[in-house]
Amino acid sequence: MSTHPGPRARLAGGLLFWYAVLGGAFAWAVHLLAGWGVDELTCAAGSEHVAGLPLRVVVGAAVVLPALATVGALLAAALLWRRTAAAPHDGRDRSVGRSRMLAVVGIWSNLLFLTIIVLGGVALLVLPPCQR
């Protein structure tokens, strides 16, 4: 690395770091609240459509879009892990050590959340949305 990143690049890098670590968790939270909320409230109101769209499609979107966001977070975590493979010698070793550990956390965490979301998708394929 011959040049140091400017403030904008640092901000983007810092945000990308957090996306790598917590992106899957956040996407899963959205998936759960949207999927469960829409299913519960629509069925309670006695309907199987949301704003003209079939309930299955809407819940499906609440599965697919968060799943894609989680895959993105997983890739970001993998990138972070690769970038922190070498220990630097310029006094930033704590930042790199800290980032590498959290990259490991991010990779496995995003895999866990992806699994939960995919399992929810399987349920959607198998069960009718309002069956009690």
Partner 1 sequence: MSTTTAPASGASRDDLARLEEHWGERASVRAWFTTVDHKKIGRRYLVTAGLFFALAGLSALAMRTQLARPEARLLSPQEYNQLFTMHGTAMIFLFATPMLFGFGNFLVPLLIGSRDMAFPKLNALGYWVFLFAGLFMWASLPFGAAPNGGWFAYVPLTAEQNTPGLHLDVYSLGLLFLGIATTAGSINFIVTALKLRAPGMSLNRVPLFVWAIVATGFMVIFALPALNLDNAMLFLDRRFGTHFFDPGAGGNVLLWQHLFWIFGHPDVYIIVMPALGIVSAVLPAFTRRGVVGYPLIVLAIVSISIISFGVWVHHMFATGLPQLSYSFFSAASTIITIPSGIQIFAWLATMALGRLVVRVPLLFVIGFVVTFVLGGLTGTMFALTAFDQQVTDSYFVVAHFHYVLIGGAVFPMLAGIYYWLPKMTGRMYHEGLGRWAFWLVFTGMHVTFFPMHLYGLFGMPRRVYTYRSEAGWDGWNLVSTVGSYVLALGLLLVLAGVVHAVRRGRPAPPDPWGGDSLEWSTESPPKPYNFPVLPRVHSLHPTWDEPSRESMGAGARPDRVLAEGRRTLFTSELDGRRERAVEMPEASVQPLVLALAMLTFFTAMLFAWYPVAAVAAVAVAVTMAVWLWPPRRPAEQVGVSA
Partner 2 sequence: MSGGVTAATGAEALTTELPVGRSTGWWGMVMFVVTEATLFACLLGSYFYLRFQYGAQWPPPGIGEPKLLRPLVMTAVLLPSSLPVVWAEHGIRRGERWRLRSGLAATLLLGVTFLALQASEYAEKLREFTMTTDAYGSLFYVITGFHGLHVLVGLTMVGWLLAASLRGGSFGAHRHDRVRNAAIYWHFVDVVWAAILFTVYLSPRL
Q: Is 40 in the site for partner 1 (CB under 8 A)?
A: yes
In the complex, minimum distance from the CB of residue 17 to partner 2, in angstroms, rounded to a whole number: 6
In the complex, minimum distance from the CB of residue 37 to partner 1, in angstroms, rounded to a whole number: 9
Residue 77 has which token pair? 């975590």
| Residue type present at position 132 | R
Q: How many residues bind partner 1 (CB under 8 A)?
A: 34
Per-residue binding string, partner 2, 67-106, x by CB under 8 A, is ------------xx--xx-x-x---x--xx-xx-------
Contacts of 79 (CB under 8 A, 6+ apart): 20
Distance CA 102, CA 106 (A): 6
Of 43, 50, 71, 78, which one interacts with partner 1 (CB under 8 A)? 43
Count CA atoms closer than 13 A to 36's CA, side-chain side.
Answer: 8
Pair 78, 107: CB distance under 8 Å: yes
In the complex, minimum distance from the CB of residue 122 to partner 2, in angstroms, rounded to a whole number: 26
Q: Which residue has tokens 């590498």? A: 100
DSSP state of 53: E
Q: Which residues bind partner 1 (CB under 8 A)?
A: 25, 28-29, 32, 35-36, 39-40, 43, 59, 94-95, 97-98, 100-102, 104-105, 108-109, 112, 115-116, 119-120, 123-124, 127-132
